[in-house]
Amino acid sequence: MECISNIIILEKYPQCSITIKCLIIQNDGGCLSAALTCISLALVKAQIQMRDMIISITIEEKYYRSKYEMNTITLGICLNLRTVCFFHGFGSFFNNKTLAEVIGYAEGACRSLGCEIKNTLKKYITKDKAGNSTLPS
């Protein structure tokens, strides 16, 4: 995905090819956002230098008149850069007001999730004798 290659500082890896594979065993509707966030965390674990992490969330809004029609938005943001790096949506029942509300809610949820992830990462980062930060295996 282009959004992932945009957060990696590719200049640091001029002679390298970074391959990311993601196996989705079961899709409950939130696999795209989970995959984006997990790939970002895997890059942190692999100590790949990045501009920012991607935090993503999926919002599903069921249309009240039908049990089969659904509006879905997947939003991925870079917290530190304060930018939207991924947006995907489908559904025919959004209007300007509901779309703005759902995007606002998704952005708030991404920021909240991002804060939790950052706090958790800070707890697990260890420093070796040379002062380099690493995540335990």
Full-model pTM: 0.81
Q: What is the DSSP string of 78-136?
A: ETTTTEEEEEEEE-S---HHHHHHHHHHHHHHHHHHHHHHHHHHHHH-EE-TTS-EE--
Report the domain count for the chain: 1
Closest CA relative to residue 77, chosen from 97, 101, 58, 99: 58
- Residue-number span of the structural domain to which 97 is assigned: 30-131
- Which CATH number belongs to the domain containing residue 70 in this structure? 3.30.230.70
> Per residue in 88-137, pLDDT tens?
988 876 777 778 888 899 999 999 999 999 999 888 876 655 666 666 65
HSE-CB at 20 with a 13 A cutoff on CA atoms is 19
Please report whether residue 56 resides in a domain: yes
- The pLDDT assigned to 61 comes to 75
Q: What is the pLDDT of residue 55?
A: 96
User: Which one-letter amino acid corresponds to residue 86?
Assistant: F
Q: Write down the mean pLDDT value for the chain.
A: 85
Residue 51 lies in a domain: yes
How is residue 14 written in tokens?
A: 């001029």
